[in-house]
Structures are given as C-alpha cells and as structure tokens.
Chain A
Amino acid sequence: MEGDQELKELYQDILLDYSQSGAHKGTVEGADFHSHGINPVCGDEIEITMKTGKADGSIEKIRYSGHGCVISQASSAMMAECLEGKTPKQARELVLAFKDMMLSKTPLEVLPPELSVMKSLEGVRKFPLRVKCATLAWNTIQKSFPEEKTA
C-alpha cells in the first residue's frame, strides 16, 4: 500500500527517537544569544538559547524549548547536536547547506558529513507544507548569529 510505505519513509524511527530526545531541550543559563521563531502555518513557537566560547566564538551549548510536531522537534534536536562545537562561520554554512537540502536545491550526496543525520528528514521534501516544520529551528537559529544581522 502506497500510503503505508510513505508513512514509514517519512517518519523514520531515528526521527521519532530524536523527537523525544531530552538531550538538548531547555534553556541555556547565561546565554549569549537567544532567538524566537514562529511557524505561521501552525502557530508553533520555538525558543533557542546558545552559549558561545570566549576565544573563537564557537558554540558551546545549544538548547531549544517549545512545542511542535515530530518533524520540528526532531529537526531541532538534530540541529543542536550538529551545531554544538562549531564556529559561527561553520554553523552558518551548515544551516545554509541544510536549508538548501530541504528546499531540494541540492542532492542528498552533497550534504556535509556533519549533517549526515539530517538525511532522515529527506522524506519531508515531498510535503511542501511540512518543510516549514523541518526548517523552523534552523531559520530561528540563523537569526541569532550576530554577523547575520548586519549581513
């Protein structure tokens, strides 16, 4: 049955696991950056807080809070995992690479290895209205990068 297969392809187990992961949920105490995002389609909101290291400005800790669907929650959890430890420049590039993949601008093969876990969101690309769920956290964190604001 076409629909059954598609449901399994869209909601892969790894996605469901990440969506329930508490590892990066919450708020960073004494955060350097925080950013708030809303998905206007469903009204879901997300709050991202981030602490960066002193020397090269690399991201020490990312936390997200808010309520959302499996896709938005899994994407937030995976994003936090992928971007922790990265310099702002690296993080910005990874955000762009992920968004390009979701908007089907780039084939999965060119996704940077740091983002390989994000391939589990591939199925979402068939559902244009749900792409916004997958990119909510990424759009939100993008707003909090200091250089982005002046760019």
Chain B
Amino acid sequence: MGFEVSEIRRDFPILSRKVHGKPLVYFDNAATTQKPKSLISALSSFYENHNGNIHRGAHTLSDEATTLVEESRQKTASFINAPKPETIVFTRNATEAINLVAHSWGRKFLKSGDEIILTELEHHSNLVPWQILSKEKSVKLRFIPIEKNGDLDLSEAKKLFSDKTKLISFTAASNVLGTLPPVKEIIGLAKQAGAKTLIDASQWTPHFKTDVQDWDCDFLAFSAHKMLGPTGLGVLYGRESLLEGMDPFLGGGDMIERVELESFTPNVLPAKFEAGTPAIAEAAVFPEALKYLSQIGFAAIEDQEQALLKRTLEILKNEPEVELYGSPLPQGRGGVISFNLRGLHSHDVGTSLDLEGVAVRTGHHCCQPLMRCLGVGGTARASFYFYNTLEEVEIFGHALRKTVEFFKPKLKTAGAK
C-alpha cells in the first residue's frame, strides 16, 4: 500500500461528519467524490486573491486568473498525456463535452445512412446526444450488447463495424457494473473501419492512468468533480486536426476572433469551443485535485479499491438476499458494485442504509436501457474511492443485514426468489 488511509482521510473534512447520528460512510463516489482541504482552500484563495475575468482586460487580476486557468489546461493535458494544451477544451461536465462533439462534429460531418456505434452500458449522457443527432441527420445508432457478467460482447461488436460506421462512442468504465471494456481493442476495430472514437472516461480517469496518445482515441470526455475536483468543470480532449475542422458549439464571447453585425469568424483552439465566462475559479483550482491524485498514485489507488471490492463482494455473496449484477469477481473491474435485496425496492434499501450513515446511489443511475438489459427497474450501487476503508465496508455489511432483518418479517415479497 502506497499510503495510510487513516492519514489521508484527514485531508477530507466531510468524511468525519455524521449522518443520522452515525459516522458517514460515503459509498457514492461514482456520482461525485469528496474534496480535499487543499482544493477547498484553493477555491477560497482564488476568490480572495485572484478573481477576475479571463482573456479580457489589461489588469493584474485578469492576467492572474488567465494564467491560472491556462496553467490548469496545461496540467490537465499532461495528466492525460494530451500532446498540447490546445487540445483540452473546458466544458461544464462530461455530458457537455459529449454534446459538443455530437453538435460540432456530428452535425457537420455525418449524413443520412451513416452509423454510430454505442453500447448497452452507456449512461444517458452518451446516449441522448446521439439520439438527438440521429433524429436530425437520419444517422443510424447500433449497440454493442453486453454479456451476462456485464462484459461487452466483442464478437457481436465486430459484426457491427462496416464502412458505414463513422463513430464509436463508449464508456471506458461502467458507472453501474464496474465493467472495464477493452478500450484499445475496440479502438483498433474502429480504426480498421475508418471510424472516429470517443471515450467516455468519466468513471475511468478518477481511478486509472489515462493516456490519450497510448489509446490513440479521437475524443475523450470526463468531469472534474468525480476526481476530487470542483463541480461545474468538465474536459473534452480532441485530436487537434478534428477540433480544427469542427464548427463552434455555443456562440458568444471568447469564442470569436472578429464579429460584424451579421457575421463572425471563430477564435482559434480551444477558445473556439469556450463561449462565455467559464467556470474560472473551478478551472483555476483543478490542478490541486490532479496534484493530490498524482501524489497518491494510480497504482496505490487501484490497490485500495481492489481490497475494498474484494471484501464487499465477499459480504454480498454471503448475504442470501442479495442479487448481484455484473461480474462477481474483483479482478479487472472498477470499484462499482450494483445489487438489489430480493423483493425490496432499491429506494427503500437506500433510505434504510442512509439511516445507518451509509450513502449509496439507488435507482437507474441514468442508465435506463442497461436496467432493461438487467431486467430490473433499478439497483442499489456502492462505489468506492481510495479514501474508503475496510471498516466502512463492514459497517455497510451490517447496515445491509439490518435492512434485511427489518423488512423481511414485514414484507412477504422480501427474500422471495
């Protein structure tokens, strides 16, 4: 282990609060992660010392804010090994990043009869933008199915690619099942077909080393708030030649070079895609999150998450009322586990766990089509980060047992197979 969990937990003030009188056990990290003190104080410090609008004005505050945001862009680029800072577009979140590609690349370059490949694992944010585009441009959407353990069915995937395929957009890590699709292999299939590739790395980048040049993907999207960073900031990486060829996304300040009453010429990269005042403070402090993750290191993060996964899966497999979805093994998956208690609705499970201080996500996780594949309306989901402990896993296990014990005698459906 590369770090002492009890020590790093002191860096996250919220982790010592209580919920319903019990210590908080925060297992909803796939939704958003908690923030270290260094990031929280950087945010205050920015507003106390450097706040100004960026790329405007010749005054010191504007200069300082601009420098901080542009340094953040450089550090973000090197964090994912992007070749140049200009290939990093700051957005509101990963959802907006995907919408940007659908809008600015899809609308310009796709035509009737073209095909986009997605997968059954996708989050609504990687489905709906393409559905909107599909309707507008008569583009066909095709879907890689999943196998019972949550893996993508690659033999079916191979059959979907053809010269009609113009793009594949898929998640590198499922927010529901923890599945880690073989990104490089799928990108290889896309390249053979001459298709572009977009990786939804929202659940990948917080947990594993991201290297866009190694993957050789065309686009990659993720959100800062899922990796210790602030909300309101997302990242789109794009291959420079593609970003250059794309139309602007939103119109407004900053994205223009010159404006007449009836026309404009767009700014250069990446400003072309960053209309209006962005999340300046959030972008300025994001490097604190990147620094924290680099200091801990992804190898140590993975070790800790594997330990948590292993013990949680043991507990869930030993609990007879649990229905587990996806792979039952800790190896080769992300720190996300979906399950139900038989005969109980996930919302009732979620509330019952919350009353024990345990925060899990419940419902469809913005993946309604995947829920239909699994044959359920929703699931309860525990998702980890490196600051979670094995003690917390035990508390979660006890809370789960208590939930079963409370409902089983009172509900005839509870425990029914």
Chain A residues within 8 Å of B, Cβ to Cβ: 1-4, 6-7, 10-11, 13, 16, 19-20, 41-44, 67-71, 127, 130, 133
Distance in angstroms from B380 CB to nearest chain A CB is 11
Cβ–Cβ contact A67 & B377, under 8 A: yes
Query: Beyond A7-B352, A41-B363, A42-B363, is A2–B22 a contact (Cβ under 8 Å)?
Result: yes
Residue from B21, B351, B352, B368 in contact with A43 in the complex, judged by beta carbons closer than 8 Å: B368
Q: Does B411 lie within 8 Å of A2, measured CB to CB? A: no
Contact yes or no, B413 A20, CB < 8 A: yes
Whether B52 is near chain A, meaning CB under 8 Å from some CB there, is no
Nearest opposing residue in chain A for B412, CB measure: A20
Bound-complex Cα distance A38 to B352 (A): 23
> Given A3-B21, A43-B371, A44-B377 in contact, is the A71-B410 Cβ separation under 8 Å?
no
Distance of B316 from chain A, by nearest CB (Å): 21
A43 touches B357 (CB 8 A): no
Residue B348, interface by CB 8 Å = yes
Q: Which of B21, B362, B402, B410 contacts A42 (CB 8 A)?
A: B362
B364 at the interface (CB under 8 A from A): yes
Q: How far is the CA of A68 from the CA of B346 in the complex (A)?
A: 9
- CB neighbors of A among B303-358 (8 A): 345-348, 351-352, 355-357
Q: How many A-B residue pairs have CB under 8 A?
A: 64
Q: Could you show 7 A-B contacts with beta carbons less than 8 Å apart? A: A7-B406, A16-B410, A19-B411, A42-B364, A43-B364, A44-B378, A127-B351
Annotate B1-32 by CB proximity to A: 1 below 8 A, 0 otherwise: 00000000000000000001110000000000
| Bound-state Cα–Cα, A71 to B20, Å | 20
Which residue in chain B gives the minimum CB-CB distance to A42? B363
Contacts A7-B406, A43-B363, A67-B377 hold; do A2 and B20 have CB atoms under 8 A apart?
yes
Q: A19-B411, A20-B412, A43-B368 are in contact. Are A69 and B348 (CB under 8 A)?
A: yes
From A11, A19, A43, A127, contact of B406 by CB (8 A) = A11
What 1/0 flags go to B358-373 for Cβ under 8 Å of A? Answer: 0000111000100100
B348's contact among A41, A67, A71, by CB below 8 Å, is which?
Answer: A71
Name A130's contact: one of B351, B377, B402 (CB within 8 Å): B351
**Which chain B residues border A20 with CB–CB below 8 Å?**
411-413
Known contacts A1-B21, A70-B348, A71-B348; decide if A42 and B411 are in contact (CB<8 Å). Answer: no
In the complex, how many angstroms separate the beta carbon of B417 from the nearest chain A beta carbon? 17
Residues of the A chain whose Cβ atoms lie less than 8 Å from the Cβ of B406 = 7, 11
A15 to B, closest residue via Cβ: B410
* Residues A43 and B355 in contact in the complex (CB < 8 Å), given A3-B20, A6-B20, A19-B411: no
Q: Which of B345, B410, B411, B412 contacts A68 (CB 8 A)?
A: B345
The 7 lowest CB-CB distance pairs between A and B, nearest first, are A2-B21, A69-B345, A3-B355, A42-B363, A69-B347, A43-B364, A16-B410
